[in-house]
Amino acid sequence: MVTRIASALAANGTTERLTARSRRWSVDDVYRRYMALIRLGAAATAAVSFGLWAVVLVRDVGLNPFNGWTIALGIAAAFPALLAPARPVAVFGSITMIVLAMLPALFGGLGLLYLLPIVLLFVGLLRTTAPVEVP
Protein backbone atom coordinates (compact mmCIF):
# COMPACT_ATOMS: atom_id res chain seq x y z
CA MET A 1 0.00 0.00 0.00
CA VAL A 2 2.75 2.42 0.97
CA THR A 3 4.80 1.57 -2.11
CA ARG A 4 1.80 2.27 -4.33
CA ILE A 5 1.34 5.69 -2.76
CA ALA A 6 5.07 6.44 -3.07
CA SER A 7 5.15 5.37 -6.71
CA ALA A 8 2.04 7.45 -7.46
CA LEU A 9 3.63 10.48 -5.82
CA ALA A 10 6.87 9.88 -7.73
CA ALA A 11 4.93 9.73 -10.99
CA ASN A 12 3.41 13.13 -10.19
CA GLY A 13 6.80 14.60 -9.28
CA THR A 14 5.71 15.61 -5.79
CA THR A 15 8.19 13.55 -3.80
CA GLU A 16 10.77 16.30 -3.29
CA ARG A 17 8.16 18.84 -2.28
CA LEU A 18 6.60 16.39 0.16
CA THR A 19 9.87 15.54 1.89
CA ALA A 20 10.90 19.19 2.15
CA ARG A 21 7.52 20.00 3.63
CA SER A 22 7.71 17.17 6.17
CA ARG A 23 11.17 18.32 7.27
CA ARG A 24 9.93 21.86 7.76
CA TRP A 25 6.95 20.58 9.74
CA SER A 26 9.08 18.42 11.99
CA VAL A 27 11.46 21.27 12.86
CA ASP A 28 9.37 24.41 13.08
CA ASP A 29 5.82 23.28 13.69
CA VAL A 30 6.60 20.79 16.42
CA TYR A 31 8.56 23.43 18.30
CA ARG A 32 5.67 25.88 17.99
CA ARG A 33 3.20 23.24 19.12
CA TYR A 34 5.17 22.57 22.29
CA MET A 35 5.42 26.30 22.94
CA ALA A 36 1.64 26.43 22.57
CA LEU A 37 1.39 23.51 24.99
CA ILE A 38 3.38 25.49 27.56
CA ARG A 39 1.15 28.53 27.06
CA LEU A 40 -1.93 26.34 27.43
CA GLY A 41 -0.57 24.92 30.69
CA ALA A 42 0.11 28.41 32.01
CA ALA A 43 -3.37 29.57 31.01
CA ALA A 44 -4.87 26.50 32.70
CA THR A 45 -2.96 27.37 35.87
CA ALA A 46 -4.38 30.88 35.87
CA ALA A 47 -7.87 29.54 35.13
CA VAL A 48 -7.73 27.09 38.03
CA SER A 49 -6.48 29.81 40.38
CA PHE A 50 -9.16 32.28 39.34
CA GLY A 51 -11.73 29.48 39.63
CA LEU A 52 -10.62 28.76 43.19
CA TRP A 53 -10.82 32.48 43.93
CA ALA A 54 -14.40 32.51 42.63
CA VAL A 55 -15.26 29.52 44.82
CA VAL A 56 -13.86 31.31 47.87
CA LEU A 57 -15.89 34.42 47.09
CA VAL A 58 -19.16 32.68 46.16
CA ARG A 59 -19.23 30.19 49.01
CA ASP A 60 -18.19 32.86 51.51
CA VAL A 61 -15.52 30.53 52.88
CA GLY A 62 -13.22 33.37 53.77
CA LEU A 63 -9.73 34.03 52.56
CA ASN A 64 -7.55 32.22 55.09
CA PRO A 65 -3.77 31.94 54.65
CA PHE A 66 -3.99 28.55 52.92
CA ASN A 67 -6.52 29.78 50.36
CA GLY A 68 -4.62 33.00 49.81
CA TRP A 69 -1.33 31.14 49.36
CA THR A 70 -2.83 28.78 46.82
CA ILE A 71 -4.58 31.47 44.81
CA ALA A 72 -1.76 34.03 44.81
CA LEU A 73 0.98 31.53 44.03
CA GLY A 74 -1.12 29.86 41.35
CA ILE A 75 -1.74 33.15 39.58
CA ALA A 76 1.92 34.13 39.92
CA ALA A 77 3.00 30.75 38.52
CA ALA A 78 1.30 31.45 35.22
CA PHE A 79 3.36 34.53 34.39
CA PRO A 80 6.87 33.07 33.85
CA ALA A 81 5.57 30.38 31.50
CA LEU A 82 3.36 32.83 29.62
CA LEU A 83 6.04 35.47 29.21
CA ALA A 84 9.02 33.22 28.42
CA PRO A 85 7.84 29.77 27.25
CA ALA A 86 11.09 29.14 25.35
CA ARG A 87 13.19 29.36 28.51
CA PRO A 88 13.30 26.08 30.42
CA VAL A 89 14.21 27.89 33.66
CA ALA A 90 11.00 29.93 33.51
CA VAL A 91 8.88 26.86 32.83
CA PHE A 92 10.58 24.90 35.62
CA GLY A 93 9.99 27.85 37.96
CA SER A 94 6.31 27.80 37.02
CA ILE A 95 6.08 24.07 37.72
CA THR A 96 7.77 24.58 41.09
CA MET A 97 5.38 27.38 42.05
CA ILE A 98 2.37 25.30 40.98
CA VAL A 99 3.51 22.40 43.16
CA LEU A 100 3.96 24.78 46.09
CA ALA A 101 0.48 26.19 45.46
CA MET A 102 -0.97 22.72 45.16
CA LEU A 103 0.29 21.41 48.51
CA PRO A 104 -2.07 23.33 50.83
CA ALA A 105 -4.96 22.83 48.41
CA LEU A 106 -4.52 19.05 48.54
CA PHE A 107 -5.93 19.00 52.06
CA GLY A 108 -9.25 20.29 50.75
CA GLY A 109 -9.14 18.04 47.68
CA LEU A 110 -9.01 20.91 45.19
CA GLY A 111 -5.26 20.61 44.66
CA LEU A 112 -5.86 17.88 42.12
CA LEU A 113 -7.10 20.57 39.73
CA TYR A 114 -3.49 21.65 39.31
CA LEU A 115 -2.40 18.26 37.93
CA LEU A 116 -3.36 19.04 34.33
CA PRO A 117 -1.34 22.28 34.17
CA ILE A 118 1.64 20.50 35.74
CA VAL A 119 1.49 17.72 33.14
CA LEU A 120 1.12 20.18 30.26
CA LEU A 121 4.04 22.29 31.44
CA PHE A 122 6.22 19.26 32.13
CA VAL A 123 5.61 17.78 28.68
CA GLY A 124 6.35 21.17 27.14
CA LEU A 125 9.47 21.48 29.29
CA LEU A 126 10.85 18.24 27.91
CA ARG A 127 10.61 19.66 24.38
CA THR A 128 11.84 23.22 24.84
CA THR A 129 15.14 22.72 23.08
CA ALA A 130 15.93 25.15 20.29
CA PRO A 131 14.95 23.94 16.83
CA VAL A 132 17.78 22.57 14.75
CA GLU A 133 18.20 23.15 11.03
CA VAL A 134 17.79 19.96 9.00
CA PRO A 135 20.22 19.85 6.08
Is 44 within the bounds of a domain?
Answer: yes
Residue 8's pLDDT is 53
Is 16 within the bounds of a domain?
Answer: no
pLDDT in tens, 55-92: 888 987 778 888 888 899 999 999 998 998 888 888 89
Is 7 within the bounds of a domain?
Answer: no
Is 5 within the bounds of a domain?
Answer: no
Q: Read off the pTM.
A: 0.71
Residue 12's pLDDT is 54
Count of structural domains within the chain: 1
**Domain encompassing residue 91:** 34-126
Residue 18's pLDDT is 47
pLDDT, block means (10 residues), the chain with 135 residues: 53 51 58 85 93 87 82 92 87 92 84 90 77 56
DSSP of the chain, one letter per residue?
Answer: -HHHHHHHHHHHT-HHHHHHHHHHIIIIIHHHHHHHHHHHHHHHHHHHHHHHHHHHHHHT----HHHHHHHHHHHHHHHHHHH-TT-HHHHHHHHHHHHHHHHHHHTTTGGGGGHHHHHHHHHHHHT-SPP----
Distance CA(45)–CA(115), nearest Å, equals 9
Is 2 within the bounds of a domain?
Answer: no
Residue 127's pLDDT is 72
